[in-house]
Amino acid sequence: MLHHSSHDDPSTRFAILVLLSALSVLPVTVIAPSLPNIAAEFQADPALVSLAVAGYAIVTALVELISGAVSDRYGRRPVALVSIFLFVAASIGCELAPNMTVFLIFRAMQASIAACFSVALVAIKETSGERDGASRMGYAAIAWAMAPMLAPTLGGTLDELFGWRAIFCVLAICGAVILFLAVRELKETAPSSALPKRPYLASYAQLLRSARFLAYALCMAFSMGTLYIFLAGSPLAVDESGALLGLYMGLVPIGFVCGSFLTGRYASRLPRGTVLVLARILTCFGLLAGLLLSALDITHPLAFFGPCMFIGIGNGLTMPAANMGAMSVQSELAGTAAGLAAAMSIGGGALVVSIAALFFSEAEAVNTLLATMLAAAFLALLAAVHAAALDRREPAAG
């Protein structure tokens, strides 16, 4: 059922959706600086403690896969409210955990907040026009990029001042505040008549049979794969100190913020397929420039990291447009599409970097890394061109 309100303000609703999407990615990296202290307090093996990050990411992918389909059946609002409530409870559980086992159980429960990512994407789509949807998603993507960038600094500061448990106290408070706002202001965006009752597996199968959905999902997977190759390979290829390396690597997320801003500013003026193709051409162009500089034996770190910034710019343009495209294939399955596309982009990206790692070599580290990133970026460009061609042939459903 749709919930209407006399004070239903589109800007307030959009702000809440942005907060939901930011909160869904904040917990991934916020505890990274505190892992040694958590291991020390619980007298646990550091490899076991690392499950608090790696295991969380796996559960996140599963939650995104399932929650989108559940929101198609039961609505966006109830899924968002339940996931935030579970997140608050899990954060309190982590804060009070007496041992490592209890901590990891509640940490896995925290991943319930990932459902809000799909819900936010779909709600933005369902409250926007065909053109301005990608634009608004671009502005929201700035929050997706900034939250995990700033999270380790926030977590490290809280740990240093008050101890690692304070991180989960702050997460619980943030979740409680957003839950209060969502209860008051978050309205249902899926018309009750559109909520399908078909089996979940049938919904996934219908999307996987769609050439358009697969084109968008593959474009996202290869785009994420390009980023994952950079994250995995650049510390091996470039000989810099930890702090300076982190500073140089930060150019890529800064590029993502710039690309997301460009999406917000200009995506409403261009066809979605055009945005996708331009985004992927930009990334390929940047990586080609990096290969040229390397061939000219220019070895300054900026000769490598500067061109890699185009990975971030390209992905900042790609993700909002490709997500909108994937959700538009079957409007009544928008939630399922958002969750499935997210899971495919994460899993596909992980597969791409696993294959690329086979080609890494010490002898020509920079050249090899740039070549493998360019290969992944070119495959993303091919998927983007295919998606744009299919869009011209079959206008989007919504």
**In terms of C-beta density within 10 A (0-12 exposed, 13-18 middle, 19 or more buried), how is residue 15 classed?**
middle
Domains of the chain, residue spans? 10-190, 200-393
Number of other residues whose CB lies within 10 A of the CB of residue 108: 18
- Residue 205 neighbours by CB distance under 10 Å: 11
CA geometry: angle at 304 spanning 299 and 307, to 5°?
140
Q: Are 35 and 134 in contact (CB under 8 A)?
A: no
Q: Residue 398: what pLDDT?
A: 42
* Count of alpha carbons within 13 angstroms of residue 200, beta-carbon side: 14
Cα–Cα distance, 225 to 356 (Å, whole number): 9
Q: Is it true that 10-190 and 200-393 share their CATH fold?
A: yes
18 three-state secondary structure: helix
Q: What is the pLDDT of residue 192?
A: 59
Cβ-count burial 345-381 (b if 16+ within 10 Å, e if not): bbebbeebbeebeeebeeeebbebbbbbbbbbbbbbb
What is the SS3 assignment for 169? Answer: helix
Q: Which of 334, 323, 361 is nearest to 223 (CA)?
A: 323
Reduced to 3 states (helix: H, G, I; strand: E, B; else coil), residue 32 is helix
DSSP 113: G
Collapsing DSSP to helix, strand or coil, 136 comes out as: helix
Q: How far apart are CA 28 and CA 54, in angstroms?
A: 9
Nearest to 65 by CA among 200, 223, 212: 200
Cα 237 to chain centroid distance, Å, stands at 25
Structure confidence at residue 231 (pLDDT): 79
pLDDT score of 243 = 64
Report the C-alpha gap between 337 and 342 in whole angstroms.
8
Q: What CATH number belongs to 200-393?
A: 1.20.1250.20
Q: Going residue by residue through the chain (398 aa), what tens digit of pLDDT does each one get?
A: 334 443 456 777 888 888 888 888 888 778 878 888 888 899 888 778 877 877 787 888 888 888 888 888 888 889 999 999 999 999 999 999 999 999 999 999 999 998 888 888 888 888 776 667 778 888 888 887 788 778 888 888 898 899 999 999 999 999 999 999 999 888 877 665 555 566 778 888 888 999 999 999 999 999 998 988 887 777 776 766 556 776 787 888 889 889 988 888 888 888 889 999 999 999 999 999 999 998 898 888 888 999 999 999 999 999 988 988 888 888 778 888 888 888 888 888 888 888 887 877 665 678 888 999 999 999 999 999 999 999 888 754 44
What dihedral angle (degrees, nearest 10) is formed by the CA atoms of 371, 376, 380, 383?
110
Nearest C-alpha neighbor of 231 from the set 147, 114, 352: 352
Q: What is the pLDDT of residue 164?
A: 92
Amino acid identity at 320: P
Distance, CA of 66 to CA of 342 (rounded, Å): 11
CATH for 10-190 is 1.20.1250.20
What residue type is 388 in one-letter code?
A
